[in-house]
Structure 1
Amino acid sequence: MPTLTVLGASAAHPVMGEACSGYLIDWDGFRLVLDLGYGTFPRLLSHVPDADIDAVVITHEHPDHCIDVHGLFRFRHYTQPRMSKLPLYCPVGAVDRLNTLEPGIDMRSAFDIYPLPGRYDVGPFELSSVALRHFVPNYGVRLETSTAAVAFTGDTGPHPALADLGHNADLYIVDATDRPGELENTDRNLLTAAEAGIWADRAGAKRLLLTHFWPGNDRSSAASAARKHFGGDVLTAEQDLRIALTPPKDDVKDRRRATSRGHLAD
């Protein structure tokens, strides 16, 4: 059964017992990783010991979302040099930042790099992306098959595109940082858990997965805040949590009818 496994969900930096942002999707044997922040590569190896994955997607260049791509790079470059290049979908800024860690070796020796924003066929998925508000260029990502869709905001402030990104998604992974003082900022670049619930509701998503928790925040309180605005299932991203991605049969039928009428967002 297709699944998503949480590798980590801590914002800004890892905390005791938990890595930063990272998710492993296994769709009938096709393995795709969404973000690889601090501490996520060892977590990936605990689920896939040989790091035999098929694609990596990075939302933005902040190290709590991308730094362990370099660990994956070194693993492939030094341990598995004969492995074929791994497709890496990411903003150009992420590649530039990671290349500064080891200027003598170009990451393109291990990766085929595809820039975001863009639209790509990635194994069983159609990958689309949309620019969202953040301190650096950040691209929300939507992965869609004929029967299911997973959407991920990366880090973002409030933005109208959030409703389209998560439209009818079976699982919508949404920033719920709740950083102290965030609501007082004039330029909002992060979401609260309550806002995550609001945008998941506007998107008509089936399930909401809250993520990117500011260290020290109470996740049960975050879930309660989101549930005040979203009537579907609300989950919190806990390390090693595994979520089934195949929707119920009725949802599949509804999705096929919607697709035939052209109601699914790009």
Structure 2
Amino acid sequence: MRLTVLGARGAFPEAGDACSGFLVEHDGFRMLLDAGYATFPRLLAHCTAADVDAVVITHGHPDHCVDLNPLLRARSLADDPPPPLPVYAPPGALDAVLALDRPGMLDYALHPAGDGDRLRIGPFTVDVRALPHFVPDNGLRVAAGGVALAYQGDSGPTTDLAALADGAAALIAEATYPLAVPDHSAGRLSSALDAAAAARTAGVGRLLLTHLWPGLPGDTAVEAARSGYAGPVDLAGAGQVWNL
């Protein structure tokens, strides 16, 4: 399983950066996990819009889904459009993004995904677990070829994340804040310390921190995570490629 980081910033991208987006490949099948701000141009450095075989969106906040629009536009407006793109998301999560264009312009097949679902997407098995956030939000466990990857787009701390990531080769975990989540977002966002706790409990092989708040130093988040998890800790960054 090959993982390419397209972007990993939370809320909005800084100069030269992008928000949440991860390309996962296995046996020639390309699946996109989230499509936040500025991820589509970075995707094009790795494949064409037509090469994407499926998209899984964790929730409807724009830093996780807004670049689904240019991806669908590039496919639908091509001289030789590919088949409808399968898109999986919580019910209603993509209503705003899909309404940006006139009805019928974009060609996609929308599939609802929610807590407890097991999705068969190409060579991948994707297990879905609802996680606590401001809107309906899915955590994902992606498995293929005997390897599993867990992904928390963003959410509050929950034992469900560790259950989802149990024994995974890698956990991509939200670390919006290094040490403590402010009261206004408590229970709905996580820190690097929370990510470390989930990785430790799940016994994952590697922890990748994502969704850092713009302007916050990444080394502080990594240091905090390493204080609570003994395995390898890295800050997910656009352009990174991991072979799991």
User: Normalized against structure 2, the TM-score is what?
Assistant: 0.94
Question: What CA distance in whole angstroms lies between the structure 2 residues aligned with 1:208 and 1:31?
Answer: 22
Question: What CA distance in whole angstroms lies between the structure 2 residues aligned with 1:185 and 1:130?
Answer: 24
**Are the counterparts in 1 of residues 205 and 231 from structure 2 also a CA contact under 8 Å?**
yes
- Once the two structures are superposed, residues 145-164 of structure 1 have per-residue CA deviations (whole angstroms, 9 ceiling, x without a partner) of 24100110111001120111
1:74 matched to 2:67: no
| Aligned counterparts, 1:1-266, within 5 A | 2-80=1-79, 82-102=81-101, 104-106=102-104, 109-117=106-114, 118-178=117-177, 182-185=181-184, 187-245=186-244
Match in the other structure for 1:254: none
Gaps of 5+ in 2: none
Shift of 1:54: 0.9
Shift of 1:86: 1.3
- Once the two structures are superposed, residues 74-102 of structure 1 have per-residue CA deviations (whole angstroms, 9 ceiling, x without a partner) of 11111155311111111122221212312
Question: What CA distance in whole angstroms lies between the structure 2 residues aligned with 1:38 and 1:213?
Answer: 14
Q: Secondary structure at the match of 1:46?
A: coil
**Are the counterparts in 1 of residues 93 and 136 from structure 2 also a CA contact under 8 Å?**
no
Shift of 1:233: 0.9
Q: Secondary structure at the match of 1:94?
A: coil
Are residues 50 and 101 of structure 1, via their aligned partners in 2, closer, same or farther at CA, if it must alter by over 3 Å?
Answer: closer
Q: Secondary structure at the match of 2:8?
A: strand
**Are the counterparts in 2 of residues 99 and 106 from structure 1 also a CA contact under 8 Å?**
no
Question: What CA distance in whole angstroms lies between the structure 1 residues aligned with 2:242 and 2:145?
Answer: 19
Report the number of matched residues. Answer: 242
Q: Secondary structure at the match of 2:199?
A: helix
Amino acid at match of 1:140: G
User: Normalized against structure 1, the TM-score is what?
Assistant: 0.86
**Are the counterparts in 2 of residues 129 and 141 from structure 1 also a CA contact under 8 Å?**
yes
Amino acid at match of 1:113: L
Q: Secondary structure at the match of 1:113?
A: strand
Q: Could you tell which deviates more after superposition, 65-74 or 90-99?
A: 90-99
The structure that has the greater radius of gyration is 1
Are residues 153 and 80 of structure 1, via their aligned partners in 2, closer, same or farther at CA, if it must alter by over 3 Å?
Answer: farther
Q: Identity over aligned residues, as a percent?
A: 43
Aligned-residue CA RMSD (Å): 1.7
Q: Secondary structure at the match of 1:32?
A: strand
Gaps of 5+ in 1: 246-266
Q: Which has the higher helix share?
A: 1
Question: What CA distance in whole angstroms lies between the structure 1 residues aligned with 2:154 and 2:54?
Answer: 21
Shift of 1:50: 4.6
Question: What CA distance in whole angstroms lies between the structure 2 residues aligned with 1:222 and 1:176?
Answer: 7
Amino acid at match of 2:173: V
Question: What CA distance in whole angstroms lies between the structure 2 residues aligned with 1:99 and 1:31?
Answer: 21
Q: Secondary structure at the match of 1:182?
A: coil
